[in-house]
C-alpha cells in the first residue's frame, strides 16, 4: 500500500467503451442542434443519473414506436443494434433515424449474415433476451439459436454446417468452451470469436487485478449485463467481490477488512461514477487514520469547488493586464471581477447539479446544497453589480450585459432554431466574458481611449482564458462528463484541439516576445513571459497526455494566473 493509493487500485480499462461513448456523443450532438425530441430505442446506458441528465436535454428512452405520439424529432438506434426487420420498421415510421450502432456490433451482424447466406446455422453464445443478442438473432435468417454457455451448447442438436459467434461482451473462456462443445458434434463448424477488443482488454485486466487484491468492487448499473458479467468473473477469482451502483453502497466494514482493494466498472459506467467510488473508498481508508495532510486536502477541495480559487485567479489576471495598460487599479474593480467570476462559475456548477462529479465534496455542495450554492452565486452576482454601479454607469452597463449573457448562455438553444452550435462556444464565451471584466471595464472606468495597450491586454486575456477553458474541457471529457460541442475538445477531437492549443501558445509567446522589444514595457514583458512559462508547462502536460482531473486540473490550470500576477507584482515593485 502506498500513501497515495491507500491500497485502492482502479483498473485502467474502467469506464465507457468506445461504442457507448460514440452513442452518447451522437445524441448530445443532436440535442445541441435542437433536433428535439430525441428517442432512443431502449436506454443508452444503465445509469440512472446519466439517463436523468439526458432526459433534461429531451433525450428519452422508449421501448416501442407506439410510445411516440407526434412524429417530430429523431429516433436513435443505440450501440447494441437492432434486428434488420425492426430497423426496416423504424425507417418506415416516417421520422428521421440516426444509426449509433457500435461498429463492432455491426461487424458481428455482417459475420452472421455472411454465413447465414451460405446456408449455415448460427449459434450465438450470449444472454437470451439481451438487446444486442436479439439484434444479432435477426441476421441469422431464422436459423439462429442462443446458448448461455457450454452446458446449453452440449444439449444442442448436431449441425451439418454451423457458425458460432459470441455476444460482444461475453466472457472469452465461456465462449471458447461452448464453441468447442459445438465443434465436437458438428460437420463444418466455423468459430467466429466476436467478443470485442475493449471487452477482451477489460476482462484480461480484471483477471489479473482480482488475483492481486482481497476485495474487488465492480461499479455499474444492476441491470447492465456486461457489469454483472465482470462481477461474476471477479467473484470467482477474488475472495470478496461486490457489485455497487454508487459509493453509498460501500460500508466501513467492507473497506476495513480488506488489505488491498481493486475497483473496475462495466462498459456503460461513466468514469466520474467510478472515480466517486474510488474517492469514497480512499476517504474511508483515510478516516481510519486521518492525518493533517488529509484535512488540508479536504479544505483545498472546498476552496476549489466553491470557485473561490477561480475567482482569485481572475483577479490576478486583471492585475497582470492592468500592468500592460499601465493602470493602478481601484480595489473595487478587483472585488467586482472576483465576485463576477465567482457568481458565473457557481451558477454554472449549480446548473449541472453535481451530476458527473467524482468528488464527494462537489456532490455535497452542488447536489445536496444546490439551492444554497445557487443563492450564493446570485448574491455574488448582485454584489458585483453593486460594485459596478459604484464605479459609474458605463461600468454598470457592461457588467449587467456580461452577467445577463453569462446567465442566459445555458438557454441559448431556444434562440438558435436548430442551427448547428458554434464549436467551442462555451470556451469562446468564457474568454470574452473574462476579457471584458479584466480589461475593457478598467479601461472604461479610467476613461482611457482604447489604444494599442488595451487591445494587446484584451487579446492576451482572451487567449489565455480560452486556453484555460479548453484544457479544463479536456479534463472533463476524460472523466466522461456529459458535455457537448460547446467545448472545443468535443467538437474538434484530440489532434486538432491540441494543434489549436499549440498555435495559441506560440501566438501568446510571440506576442510577449514582441513586447520585450518595447522599451517602456520590457520589464513587464519579461514578467509576463515568466508567467507564460507556467502556462506552457500546463499545456505540455495536456499535449503529452499527462491530463490532470478534478481538483488537480483546476489547481494546475488556474494556477497560471496566480503565477502571472505574482511575477508582474515582483517586476513592478522590485525592479
Ligand atoms: Fe461496442 Fe464492445 Fe462497447 Fe459493445 S462493448 S458497444 S461492441 S465497444
- Above 50 in pLDDT, residue 249? yes
Band of pLDDT at residue 494, cut at 50, 70 and 90 = confident
Band of pLDDT at residue 3, cut at 50, 70 and 90 = very low
The per-residue pLDDT for range 199-211, each reduced to its tens digit, is 999 989 988 899 8
Q: Which atom of ligand 1 is nearest to the CA of 168?
A: 7
- Above 50 in pLDDT, residue 1? no
* Per-residue pLDDT at 481: 62
Say how many Å lie between the CA of residue 99 and the centre of ligand 1: 15
Kindly report whether the peptide bond that precedes residue 23 is cis, defined as omega within 30 degrees of 0: no
Secondary structure (DSSP) of 72-113: -SEEEE-TT---HHHHHHHHTTSSEEEE---HHHHHHHHHHH
Q: Which atom of ligand 1 is nearest to the CA of 169?
A: 5
The per-residue pLDDT for range 398-450, each reduced to its tens digit, is 999 999 988 777 666 555 555 566 778 889 999 999 999 999 999 999 888 77
- Above 60 in pLDDT, residue 355? no
Say how many Å lie between the CA of residue 17 and the centre of ligand 1: 6
* Per-residue pLDDT at 423: 79
What's the farthest any 2 CA atoms get from each other in the chain?
A: 91
Band of pLDDT at residue 310, cut at 50, 70 and 90 = very high
* Per-residue pLDDT at 351: 77
Contact indicator for 137, 84 with CB cutoff of 8 Å: no
Distances (CA, A) of 171 to 111, 235, 482: 19, 14, 29
The per-residue pLDDT for range 39-68, each reduced to its tens digit, is 999 888 777 777 877 888 889 999 889 999
Kindly give, in sequence order, each residue whose CB lies less than 8 Å from that of residue 499, ignoring residues fewer than 6 positions away.
Answer: none
Rounded-to-integer distance, Cα 298 and Cα 303, Å? 9
* Per-residue pLDDT at 2: 47
Please provide the average confidence, as pLDDT, over all residues in the chain: 87
Rounded-to-integer distance, Cα 125 and Cα 133, Å? 9
Closest by alpha carbon to 456, among 443, 470, 469, 471? 443
- Above 80 in pLDDT, residue 293? no
Of all protein residues, whose CA lies closest to atom 6 belonging to ligand 1? 19
Of all protein residues, whose CA lies closest to atom 1 belonging to ligand 1? 19
Catalytic residue among 132, 171, 318, 352: 132
- pLDDT (average), residues 269-291: 80
132 is catalytic: yes
Q: Which atom of ligand 1 is nearest to the CA of 103?
A: 1
Say how many Å lie between the CA of residue 85 and the centre of ligand 1: 22
Alpha helices in 353-451, H assignment, sequence order? 360-363, 370-390, 393-408, 413-416, 425-435, 441-445
* Per-residue pLDDT at 560: 93
Rounded-to-integer distance, Cα 431 and Cα 439, Å? 12
**Residues whose beta carbon lies within 6 Å of some atom of ligand 1:** 17-20, 79, 102, 104-105, 168-169, 196, 198-199, 267
Reading across the β-sheet that carries 74-77, which strands appear in turn? Answer: 59-62, 38-41, 74-77, 96-99
The per-residue pLDDT for range 221-240, each reduced to its tens digit, is 888 878 888 899 999 888 88
Rounded-to-integer distance, Cα 146 and Cα 390, Å? 75
Global model pTM greater than 0.75? no
Percentage of residues in the chain having pLDDT higher than 90: 50
Distances (CA, A) of 328 to 190, 256, 318, 333, 572: 79, 57, 11, 11, 11
* Per-residue pLDDT at 421: 63
- Above 90 in pLDDT, residue 326? no
Amino acid at each position: 500500500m502506498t500513501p497515495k493509493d491507500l491500497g485502492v487500485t482502479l483498473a485502467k480499462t474502467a469506464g465507457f467503451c468506445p461504442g457507448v461513448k460514440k452513442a452518447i456523443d451522437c445524441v448530445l450532438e443532436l440535442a445541441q442542434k435542437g433536433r428535439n425530441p430525441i428517442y432512443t430505442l431502449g436506454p443508452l446506458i444503465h445509469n440512472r443519473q446519466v439517463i436523468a441528465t439526458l432526459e433534461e436535454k429531451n433525450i428519452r428512452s422508449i421501448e416501442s414506436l407506439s410510445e411516440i405520439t407526434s412524429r417530430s424529432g429523431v429516433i436513435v438506434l443505440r450501440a447494441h443494434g437492432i434486428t434488420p426487420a425492426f430497423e426496416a420498421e423504424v425507417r418506415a415510421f416516417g421520422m428521421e433515424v440516426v444509426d449509433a450502432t457500435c461498429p463492432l456490433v455491426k461487424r458481428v451482424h455482417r459475420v452472421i449474415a455472411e454465413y447465414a447466406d451460405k446456408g449455415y446455422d448460427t449459434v450465438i453464445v450470449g444472454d437470451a433476451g439481451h438487446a444486442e443478442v436479439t439484434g444479432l438473432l435477426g441476421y441469422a435468417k431464422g436459423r439462429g439459436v442462443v446458448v448461455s454457455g457450454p452446458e446449453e451448447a452440449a444439449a444442442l442438436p448436431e449441425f451439418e454446417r454451423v457458425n458460432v459467434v459470441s455476444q460482444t461482451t461475453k466472457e472469452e473462456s465461456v465462449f471458447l468452451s461452448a464453441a468447442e462443445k459445438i465443434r465436437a458434434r458438428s460437420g463444418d463448424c466455423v468459430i467466429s470469436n466476436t467478443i470485442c477488443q475493449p471487452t477482451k482488454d477489460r476482462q484480461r485486466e480484471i483477471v489479473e487485478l482480482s488475483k492481486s487484491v482481497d476485495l474487488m468492487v465492480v461499479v455499474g448499473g444492476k441491470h447492465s449485463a456486461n457489469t454483472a458479467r465482470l462481477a461474476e468473473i471477479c467473484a470467482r477469482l477474488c475472495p470478496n467481490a461486490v457489485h455497487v451502483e454508487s459509493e453509498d453502497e460501500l460500508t466501513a466494514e467492507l473497506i476495513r477488512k480488506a488489505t488491498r482493494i481493486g475497483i473496475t466498472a462495466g462498459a456503460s459506467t461513466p468514469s466520474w461514477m467510478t472515480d466517486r467510488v474510488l474517492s469514497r473508498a480512499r476517504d474511508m481508508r483515510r478516516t481510519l487514520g486521518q492525518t493533517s495532510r488529509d484535512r488540508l486536502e479536504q479544505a483545498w477541495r472546498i476552496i476549489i469547488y466553491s470557485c473561490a480559487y477561480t475567482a482569485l485567479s481572475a483577479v490576478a489576471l486583471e492585475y497582470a493586464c492592468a500592468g500592460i495598460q499601465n493602470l493602478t487599479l481601484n480595489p473595487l474593480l478587483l472585488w467586482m471581477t472576483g465576485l463576477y467570476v465567482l457568481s458565473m462559475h457557481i451558477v454554472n456548477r449549480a446548473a449541472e447539479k453535481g451530476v458527473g462529479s467524482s468528488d464527494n465534496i462537489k456532490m455535497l455542495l452542488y447536489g445536496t446544497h444546490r439551492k444554497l450554492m445557487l443563492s450564493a452565486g446570485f448574491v455574488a452576482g448582485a454584489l458585483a453589480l453593486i460594485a459596478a454601479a459604484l464605479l459609474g454607469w458605463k461600468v454598470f452597463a457592461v457588467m449587467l450585459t456580461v452577467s445577463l449573457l453569462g446567465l442566459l448562455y445555458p438557454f441559448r438553444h431556444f434562440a438558435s432554431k436548430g442551427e448547428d452550435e458554434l464549436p467551442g462556444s462555451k470556451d469562446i464565451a468564457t474568454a470574452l466574458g473574462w476579457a471584458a471584466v479584466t480589461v475593457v471595464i478598467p479601461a472604461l472606468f479610467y476613461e482611457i481611449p482604447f489604444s494599442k495597450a488595451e487591445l494587446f491586454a484584451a487579446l492576451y486575456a482572451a487567449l489565455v482564458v480560452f486556453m484555460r477553458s479548453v484544457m479544463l474541457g479536456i479534463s472533463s471529457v476524460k472523466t466522461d462528463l456529459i458535455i457537448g460541442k460547446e467545448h472545443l475538445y468535443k467538437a474538434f477531437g484530440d489532434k486538432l484541439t491540441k494543434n489549436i492549443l499549440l498555435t495559441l501558445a506560440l501566438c501568446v509567446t510571440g506576442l510577449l516576445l514582441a513586447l520585450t522589444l518595447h522599451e517602456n514595457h520590457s520589464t513587464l514583458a519579461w514578467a509576463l513571459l515568466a508567467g507564460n512559462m507556467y502556462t506552457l508547462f500546463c499545456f505540455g502536460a495536456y499535449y503529452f497526455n499527462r491530463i490532470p482531473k478534478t481538483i488537480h486540473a483546476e489547481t494546475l490550470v488556474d494556477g497560471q494566473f496566480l503565477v502571472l500576477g505574482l511575477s508582474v507584482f515582483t517586476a513592478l515593485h522590485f525592479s
